[in-house]
Amino acid sequence: MPWTKIYSDKTEFEEAAKASSVPLRGITYAEALREAQAQLLRDDERVFIFGEGIDDPGGVFGSTLGLHTEFGDERVFDTPLAENALTGIAAGAATAGMRPILVHMRIDFMPLTMDPILNHAAKWHYMFGGAVHVPMVIRSIVGRGWGSAAQHSQNIHALFAHIPGLKVVMPATPYDAKGLLMSASADGNPVIFIEHRWLYGHTGHVPEEPYTVPLGKGVVRREGSDVTIVAISHMAAEATKAARSLAEEGIECEIIDPRTLRPLDTELIISSVKKTGRLVVADTGWQYGGIGAEITTRLVEDAFGALKAPVERINIPDCPTPASPVLEAAYYPGVTEIENAVKRVIAG
């Protein structure tokens, strides 16, 4: 299936498209996000998009480029630097029947919005006995590289996944970026939609027509028999590269991309581990209290007997991000760390 494939670069996609028996349309992750938002704006008058810098010449790294010109500044508009107030506006508008998409260019500033997210948007459906829905989407971007340091490159998705009433999405491919954003807008619940900046230039197959990808359903990116790698967000691309290298050594890895962290597709993960007997979890965030801990615990609770070796977790170091390029390069795990973790679980 072409939509499950993660391509190393645009050239690899173009070669796959030439060899394919069915037409493959290739656009980038950023272009897929823009296309999804344009189609949502076109098809649903309740949708509006707002946030800091979305009408800038760069258009949030290309993901909102030109939307304000096409749909007008009443439906796509820039905002002041007031994250808490803006999130409260989004929650109120959603409760009143609109379907806002609020764009936070960096997730680091979302802790400023925790009151309207945690105490309001996440709870109103429950507190009003199901009579109130809060169909809002908060797009936020995980930074990385270029010396972004401790306050502009954090991976705090586990913080939001901890909260009942929220759904948390982390798409790893252009196909999923579009399909999951379409689903998030239509869901009826508050969705935290987290995008990794390093994925924005990735090219993949994306149909031109509107489509949805179901929330709470993971996907097998690569089939294998020896080790299961649950790879989150950008780590799915890193795991794909590692799996190709390991295959040359006779180690076949199965890659599971959860796509949605809450709800989590536990059934898919456990099914894979029952087949391989080994698990590596590759996450973009910290280890303590992280998504890897949740995945590992669910496996231990429901399928401990399937494990042939201890679980390996790959995370960033448990400290703030350094600004130095040398330290930054050492801080972020990737292909090498995944390969080493797989070899350790194979060794038992």
Residues forming the active site: 83, 152
CB 59 within 8 A of CB 65: yes
In angstroms, the CA 59 to CA 51 distance is 11
Residue 303: CB atoms within 10 A of its CB come to: 16
> Taking the alpha carbons of 249, 250, 251, 255 in that order, is the dihedral positive or negative?
positive
CB 228 within 8 A of CB 203: no
If we measure between CA atoms, which residue out of 94, 58, 56, 99 comes closest to residue 78? 56
CB 203 within 8 A of CB 7: yes
Please provide the DSSP assignment of 189-226 as one string.
Answer: S-EEEEEEGGGTT-EEE--SS-----TT--EEEE--SS
For residue 119, give both structure tokens: 């105490």
Residue 80, Cβ density class (10 Å: 0-12 exposed, 13-18 middle, ≥19 buried):
exposed
CA atoms within a 13 Å half-sphere pointing along the CA-CB vector of 337: 20
If we measure between CA atoms, which residue out of 122, 115, 59, 48 comes closest to residue 83? 115
Length of the chain: 348
Place of tokens 């967000």: 233
Quick check: helix, strand or coil at residue 287?
A: coil
